């Protein structure tokens, strides 16, 4: 059997399959269905300094081969995540986990990251500067190089664990922003977050989402995500975690051939709660089919940069 293990920012993963933040809760919900330790790891639900109820409903709408969401970072706040969610997570998941962090100011990002950095099971901090569904924060920090640099630098100075910066595709030059994060000390880049979109109810003639716009994810965005992963992976010297429309072992291989070190599975979890388990199961056969002996050898260095 081919070698599935990869190294993400100095931490060894049994395989590159990671369940994406916002689609996998805190893990224990899925642990009722199967042993989630088969995953490389997962990124738990986006956490902010204070509790958030999230956006008004409706906040989910279907689209062609995808889904729009406008959840708005609903979470119980970092204190309760540490005191209530992580102890439950630890009972069912025995590997380092990715802590996804949101915020509305540099101070909030730093505060939340410092808190989670002290948690033993947290292996990486995934700093979300790309959420399109909140006002006055989130994506606004990931739209310009100087803001992305400042957030990255501040978090790195306050923490000890590897920092992944999660970037938005809703920009004109994602490569420059990724390079700014690398210059500020980021250990890796996660991309892409969701694309901005909307739907209109023909009967009411009004937007379906209460927030009007939402983040679009699902199979339809895979080619877009693959292109941006390729561009960024060829421009930076730090690991890239590929995200966007992944739903099969073949998609994982494509992402890794584009330059991703590991791959997150997001919206597909909402359609099939067993999809991550099945991708891990199917990877060896897919590797054999395409003559791949080791996933860690799928490097952009093999192709023209």
How long a stretch of residues is the chain?
305
Q: Is residue 186 a contact partner of residue 33, using CB atoms and an 8 Å limit?
A: no
The per-residue pLDDT for 298 is: 84
The per-residue pLDDT for 135 is: 47
Cα of 96 vs its chain's centroid, Å: 15
**Positions in the chain short of pLDDT 70:** 131-140, 299-305
Percent of the chain exceeding pLDDT 90 equals 88
Active site residues: 131
Q: Which domains does the chain carry?
A: 6-55+72-197+215-302 (3.20.20.70)
Q: Is residue 211 a contact partner of residue 72, using CB atoms and an 8 Å limit?
A: yes
The per-residue pLDDT for 141 is: 73
The per-residue pLDDT for 221 is: 97
> pTM value?
0.94
Q: Is residue 174 a contact partner of residue 191, using CB atoms and an 8 Å limit?
A: yes
DSSP string across 224-260: HHHHHHHHHHTT-SS-EEEESS--SHHHHHHHHHTT-
The per-residue pLDDT for 303 is: 39
The per-residue pLDDT for 32 is: 97
Model confidence pLDDT, tens digit, residues 38-74? 999 999 999 999 999 989 999 999 998 999 999 988 9
The per-residue pLDDT for 283 is: 98
């Amino acid at each position: 059997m081919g070698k599935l293990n990869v190294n993400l920012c100095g931490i060894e993963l049994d395989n590159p399959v990671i369940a994406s933040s916002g689609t996998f809760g805190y893990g224990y919900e899925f642990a009722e269905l199967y042993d989630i330790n088969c995953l490389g790891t997962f990124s738990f639900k986006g956490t902010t300094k204070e509790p958030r109820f999230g956006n008004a409903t409706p906040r989910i709408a279907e689209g062609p081969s995808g889904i729009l969401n406008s959840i708005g970072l609903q979470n119980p706040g970092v204190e309760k995540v540490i005191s209530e969610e992580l102890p439950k997570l630890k009972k069912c998941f025995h590997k380092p986990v990715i802590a996804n962090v949101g915020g509305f100011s540099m101070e909030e990002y730093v505060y939340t990251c410092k808190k989670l950095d002290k948690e033993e099971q947290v292996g990486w901090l995934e700093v979300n500067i790309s959420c399109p569904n909140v006002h006055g924060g989130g994506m606004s920090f990931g739209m310009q190089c100087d803001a992305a640099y400042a957030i990255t630098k501040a978090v790195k100075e306050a923490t000890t664990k590897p920092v992944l910066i999660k970037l938005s595709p809703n920009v004109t030059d994602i490569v420059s922003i990724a390079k700014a994060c690398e210059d500020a000390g980021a250990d890796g880049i996660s991309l892409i977050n969701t694309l901005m979109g909307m739907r209109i109810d023909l009967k009411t003639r009004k937007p379906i989402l209460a927030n009007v716009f939402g983040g679009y994810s699902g199979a339809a965005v895979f080619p877009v995500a693959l292109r941006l992963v390729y561009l960024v992976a060829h421009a930076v010297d730090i690991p890239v975690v590929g995200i966007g429309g992944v739903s099969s072992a073949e998609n994982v291989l494509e992402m890794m051939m584009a330059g991703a070190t590991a791959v997150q599975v997001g919206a597909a979890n909402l359609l099939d709660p067993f999809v991550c388990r099945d991708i891990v199961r199917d990877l060896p056969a897919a590797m054999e089919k395409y003559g791949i002996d080791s996933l860690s050898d799928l490097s952009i260095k093999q192709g023209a940069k």
